[in-house]
Chain A
Amino acid sequence: QVPLQESGPGRVEPSETLSLTCTVSGYSISDNFYWGWIRQPPGKGLEWIGSIYHDGTTYYNPSLKSRVAISIDTSKNHFSLKLTSVTAADTALYYCARDRPHCFGDTCYRGHDVFDIWGRGTVVTVSS
Protein backbone atom coordinates (compact mmCIF):
# COMPACT_ATOMS: atom_id res chain seq x y z
CA GLN A 1 0.00 0.00 0.00
CA VAL A 2 1.10 3.54 -0.69
CA PRO A 3 1.83 5.32 2.60
CA LEU A 4 0.49 8.67 1.41
CA GLN A 5 -2.00 9.07 -1.42
CA GLU A 6 -3.27 12.35 -2.80
CA SER A 7 -6.74 12.54 -4.31
CA GLY A 8 -8.91 15.24 -5.81
CA PRO A 9 -9.98 16.88 -9.06
CA GLY A 10 -7.32 17.19 -11.73
CA ARG A 11 -8.82 20.41 -13.08
CA VAL A 12 -10.15 23.47 -11.32
CA GLU A 13 -11.66 26.54 -12.93
CA PRO A 14 -10.09 29.95 -12.33
CA SER A 15 -11.37 31.74 -9.21
CA GLU A 16 -12.69 28.47 -7.80
CA THR A 17 -11.36 26.45 -4.85
CA LEU A 18 -8.82 23.66 -5.18
CA SER A 19 -9.50 20.78 -2.78
CA LEU A 20 -7.24 17.81 -2.20
CA THR A 21 -7.10 15.03 0.37
CA CYS A 22 -4.13 12.97 1.51
CA THR A 23 -4.94 9.53 2.88
CA VAL A 24 -2.30 8.10 5.20
CA SER A 25 -1.81 4.32 5.36
CA GLY A 26 0.44 2.36 7.65
CA TYR A 27 1.04 5.28 10.01
CA SER A 28 -1.18 7.00 12.53
CA ILE A 29 -1.85 10.61 11.70
CA SER A 30 -1.95 11.21 15.45
CA ASP A 31 1.73 10.37 15.92
CA ASN A 32 4.22 13.12 16.78
CA PHE A 33 4.60 14.41 13.22
CA TYR A 34 3.24 17.26 11.18
CA TRP A 35 1.60 16.59 7.83
CA GLY A 36 2.34 18.88 4.94
CA TRP A 37 1.50 19.95 1.43
CA ILE A 38 4.16 20.88 -1.12
CA ARG A 39 3.64 21.85 -4.74
CA GLN A 40 5.76 22.00 -7.87
CA PRO A 41 4.67 24.02 -10.92
CA PRO A 42 5.58 22.48 -14.28
CA GLY A 43 9.33 22.66 -14.82
CA LYS A 44 9.88 24.59 -11.60
CA GLY A 45 11.01 24.02 -8.03
CA LEU A 46 9.34 22.95 -4.82
CA GLU A 47 7.18 25.25 -2.72
CA TRP A 48 6.03 24.45 0.82
CA ILE A 49 2.34 25.28 1.14
CA GLY A 50 1.76 24.47 4.78
CA SER A 51 1.58 21.82 7.47
CA ILE A 52 -0.78 20.67 10.19
CA TYR A 53 -0.38 18.88 13.52
CA HIS A 54 -2.85 16.27 14.70
CA ASP A 55 -4.32 18.73 17.20
CA GLY A 56 -5.35 20.90 14.26
CA THR A 57 -2.66 23.56 14.62
CA THR A 58 -1.72 24.86 11.20
CA TYR A 59 1.34 26.56 9.75
CA TYR A 60 1.26 28.20 6.34
CA ASN A 61 3.61 29.69 3.78
CA PRO A 62 3.11 33.44 4.29
CA SER A 63 2.82 33.99 0.52
CA LEU A 64 -0.22 31.69 0.38
CA LYS A 65 -1.63 32.16 3.86
CA SER A 66 -4.60 34.28 2.82
CA ARG A 67 -5.88 31.58 0.45
CA VAL A 68 -4.91 28.31 2.16
CA ALA A 69 -6.67 26.11 4.69
CA ILE A 70 -5.38 22.73 5.83
CA SER A 71 -7.54 20.47 7.96
CA ILE A 72 -7.15 17.04 9.52
CA ASP A 73 -9.50 14.16 10.29
CA THR A 74 -7.85 11.78 12.72
CA SER A 75 -10.79 9.36 12.58
CA LYS A 76 -10.22 8.88 8.85
CA ASN A 77 -6.43 9.18 9.06
CA HIS A 78 -6.36 11.84 6.40
CA PHE A 79 -5.70 15.53 5.99
CA SER A 80 -6.89 18.00 3.38
CA LEU A 81 -5.90 21.12 1.49
CA LYS A 82 -8.12 23.93 0.26
CA LEU A 83 -6.73 26.74 -1.88
CA THR A 84 -9.19 29.47 -2.80
CA SER A 85 -9.37 31.90 -5.70
CA VAL A 86 -7.03 29.86 -7.88
CA THR A 87 -5.35 31.18 -11.00
CA ALA A 88 -3.19 29.62 -13.69
CA ALA A 89 -0.21 30.20 -11.38
CA ASP A 90 -1.62 27.54 -9.06
CA THR A 91 -1.29 24.87 -11.75
CA ALA A 92 1.16 22.38 -10.28
CA LEU A 93 1.95 18.89 -9.09
CA TYR A 94 0.71 18.78 -5.50
CA TYR A 95 2.39 16.48 -3.01
CA CYS A 96 1.46 15.54 0.51
CA ALA A 97 4.24 14.48 2.86
CA ARG A 98 5.04 13.63 6.45
CA ASP A 99 6.71 16.64 8.05
CA ARG A 100 9.10 15.42 10.73
CA PRO A 101 9.99 17.68 13.67
CA HIS A 102 13.52 18.00 15.00
CA CYS A 103 13.63 16.10 18.28
CA PHE A 104 16.45 16.18 20.78
CA GLY A 105 15.63 13.91 23.68
CA ASP A 106 12.14 14.79 24.80
CA THR A 107 12.13 18.22 23.15
CA CYS A 108 10.91 18.68 19.61
CA TYR A 109 11.00 21.72 17.35
CA ARG A 110 9.07 22.22 14.15
CA GLY A 111 11.17 23.07 11.14
CA HIS A 112 8.99 22.28 8.15
CA ASP A 113 12.13 21.27 6.29
CA VAL A 114 12.25 17.50 6.87
CA PHE A 115 9.72 15.70 4.70
CA ASP A 116 10.61 12.05 5.05
CA ILE A 117 7.66 10.27 3.41
CA TRP A 118 6.00 11.59 0.25
CA GLY A 119 2.95 10.77 -1.78
CA ARG A 120 3.32 10.26 -5.51
CA GLY A 121 1.73 13.62 -6.21
CA THR A 122 -1.33 14.70 -8.14
CA VAL A 123 -1.47 17.17 -11.00
CA VAL A 124 -3.92 20.02 -10.69
CA THR A 125 -4.53 22.23 -13.70
CA VAL A 126 -6.32 25.53 -13.38
CA SER A 127 -8.23 26.20 -16.58
CA SER A 128 -11.70 26.83 -17.86
Chain B
Amino acid sequence: QSALTQAASVSGSPGQSITISCTGTSSDVGGYNFVSWYQQHPGQAPKLIIYDVSNRPSGVSNRFSGSKSGNTASLTISGLQGDDEADYYCSSYTNSHRSGVFGTGTKVTVL
Protein backbone atom coordinates (compact mmCIF):
# COMPACT_ATOMS: atom_id res chain seq x y z
CA GLN B 1 0.00 0.00 0.00
CA SER B 2 1.21 3.51 -0.74
CA ALA B 3 2.36 5.83 2.00
CA LEU B 4 0.60 9.16 2.46
CA THR B 5 2.49 12.02 0.82
CA GLN B 6 4.30 14.65 2.89
CA ALA B 7 6.83 17.28 1.94
CA ALA B 8 10.36 16.13 2.76
CA SER B 9 11.21 19.26 4.72
CA VAL B 10 9.73 22.45 6.09
CA SER B 11 11.56 25.24 7.90
CA GLY B 12 10.69 28.33 9.86
CA SER B 13 12.12 30.89 12.24
CA PRO B 14 11.43 30.92 15.97
CA GLY B 15 8.02 32.37 16.73
CA GLN B 16 6.66 31.76 13.25
CA SER B 17 3.93 29.32 12.29
CA ILE B 18 4.46 26.47 9.85
CA THR B 19 2.07 23.98 8.29
CA ILE B 20 2.85 20.40 7.28
CA SER B 21 0.55 18.71 4.78
CA CYS B 22 -0.36 15.06 4.42
CA THR B 23 -2.06 14.06 1.18
CA GLY B 24 -3.92 10.83 0.65
CA THR B 25 -7.01 9.69 -1.15
CA SER B 26 -10.72 9.26 -0.55
CA SER B 27 -9.90 5.77 0.71
CA ASP B 28 -7.92 7.10 3.64
CA VAL B 29 -7.45 10.75 4.67
CA GLY B 30 -10.46 11.97 2.72
CA GLY B 31 -12.80 9.20 3.78
CA TYR B 32 -12.42 9.20 7.53
CA ASN B 33 -11.59 11.50 10.41
CA PHE B 34 -9.03 8.95 11.49
CA VAL B 35 -5.86 10.99 11.00
CA SER B 36 -3.08 11.22 13.55
CA TRP B 37 0.23 13.06 13.77
CA TYR B 38 3.48 12.05 15.43
CA GLN B 39 6.61 13.95 16.44
CA GLN B 40 9.91 12.06 16.44
CA HIS B 41 13.12 13.53 17.80
CA PRO B 42 16.40 11.86 16.77
CA GLY B 43 17.02 8.64 18.64
CA GLN B 44 13.57 8.63 20.22
CA ALA B 45 10.32 6.81 19.65
CA PRO B 46 7.54 8.73 17.93
CA LYS B 47 5.16 10.69 20.15
CA LEU B 48 1.45 11.06 19.39
CA ILE B 49 0.56 14.77 19.17
CA ILE B 50 -2.76 14.80 17.27
CA TYR B 51 -5.48 12.17 16.76
CA ASP B 52 -8.90 12.19 15.11
CA VAL B 53 -7.70 15.02 12.83
CA SER B 54 -7.63 17.75 15.45
CA ASN B 55 -7.60 16.34 18.99
CA ARG B 56 -4.58 16.73 21.23
CA PRO B 57 -3.63 14.13 23.83
CA SER B 58 -3.29 15.35 27.37
CA GLY B 59 0.00 17.15 27.89
CA VAL B 60 0.58 18.13 24.26
CA SER B 61 1.10 21.84 23.71
CA ASN B 62 -1.78 23.79 22.18
CA ARG B 63 0.78 25.20 19.73
CA PHE B 64 0.08 22.03 17.75
CA SER B 65 -3.19 21.95 15.83
CA GLY B 66 -4.63 19.72 13.13
CA SER B 67 -7.18 20.10 10.38
CA LYS B 68 -8.36 18.42 7.21
CA SER B 69 -9.76 19.48 3.86
CA GLY B 70 -10.69 16.87 1.31
CA ASN B 71 -7.89 14.36 0.91
CA THR B 72 -5.30 16.52 2.67
CA ALA B 73 -4.69 16.76 6.40
CA SER B 74 -2.54 19.48 7.92
CA LEU B 75 -0.53 19.99 11.08
CA THR B 76 0.19 23.57 12.12
CA ILE B 77 2.87 24.45 14.62
CA SER B 78 2.49 27.98 15.94
CA GLY B 79 5.08 29.96 17.89
CA LEU B 80 7.84 27.74 16.52
CA GLN B 81 10.45 26.77 19.12
CA GLY B 82 13.83 25.09 18.91
CA ASP B 83 12.49 21.88 20.44
CA ASP B 84 10.00 21.59 17.60
CA GLU B 85 12.87 20.60 15.33
CA ALA B 86 12.04 16.97 14.62
CA ASP B 87 10.50 14.61 12.09
CA TYR B 88 6.72 14.61 11.80
CA TYR B 89 4.59 11.78 10.47
CA CYS B 90 0.90 11.61 9.69
CA SER B 91 -1.07 8.38 9.74
CA SER B 92 -4.53 7.33 8.68
CA TYR B 93 -6.87 4.41 8.41
CA THR B 94 -7.27 3.16 4.85
CA ASN B 95 -10.26 1.16 3.70
CA SER B 96 -8.47 -0.12 0.63
CA HIS B 97 -6.94 -2.79 2.82
CA ARG B 98 -8.73 -2.04 6.10
CA SER B 99 -5.37 -1.18 7.61
CA GLY B 100 -3.25 1.71 8.78
CA VAL B 101 -0.77 3.73 6.75
CA PHE B 102 1.86 6.32 7.67
CA GLY B 103 2.98 9.36 5.75
CA THR B 104 6.44 9.70 4.25
CA GLY B 105 7.53 12.09 6.98
CA THR B 106 8.53 15.76 7.13
CA LYS B 107 11.70 17.10 8.68
CA VAL B 108 11.08 20.40 10.43
CA THR B 109 14.05 22.73 10.80
CA VAL B 110 14.02 25.77 13.05
CA LEU B 111 16.23 28.40 11.46
Q: B91 contacts which chain A residues (CB < 8 A)?
A: 46, 48, 113-115
In the bound complex, residues from chain B placing their C-beta under 8 Å from that of A51 are: 100
**A116 and B99 contacting across the interface, CB-CB below 8 Å:** no
Known: A113-B92, A115-B48, A119-B45. A62 touches B36 (CB 8 A): no
In this complex, the interface size class of chain A, counting residues with CB under 8 Å from chain B, is 20 to 34
Is A102's CB under 8 angstroms from B102's CB?
no
* A63 lies within 8 A of chain B by Cβ: yes
A59 to B99, CA, bound (A): 7
Whole-angstrom distance between the alpha carbons of A102 and B52 in the complex? Answer: 8
Interface residues of B in 60-102 (CB under 8 A from A): 89, 91-93, 97-102
Please tell me if B12 contacts chain A, counting CB pairs below 8 Å.
no
With A48-B99, A48-B102, A62-B1 known as contacts, the answer to whether A114 contacts B89 (CB < 8 A) is: no
Bound CA span A93–B62, Å = 30
Alpha-carbon separation in the docked complex, A119 to B89 (Å):
17
Cβ-defined contact, A116 with B57, below 8 A = yes
Chain B interface residue count, Cβ-Cβ cutoff 8 angstroms: 27
Choice from A38, A45, A60 contacting B99 with Cβ under 8 Å: A60
Task: Describe B's contact surface by its main secondary structure.
Answer: strand
Distance in Å: Cβ of A3 to nearest Cβ of chain B: 11
Is A45 a contact of B48 with CB atoms below 8 Å?
no
- Using known A-B contacts A45-B3, A63-B1, determine if residue A113 contacts B89 with beta carbons closer than 8 Å: no
In whole angstroms, how far apart are the Cα atoms of A119 and B99 in the complex? Answer: 21
Contact in complex: A115, B34 (CB < 8 Å): no
* B 38-51 to A, binary, CB cutoff 8 A, 1 in contact else 0: 10000001111001
Inside 8 A of B36's CB, which chain A residues have their CB?
113-115
Beyond A118-B46, A121-B45, whether A62 also contacts B105 by CB under 8 A is no
Interfacial residues, chain B to chain A (CB-CB below 8 A)? 1, 3, 32, 34-36, 38, 45-48, 51-52, 57, 89, 91-93, 97-105
The list of the 3 closest CB pairs from A to B, nearest first, reads: A112-B100, A111-B93, A111-B34
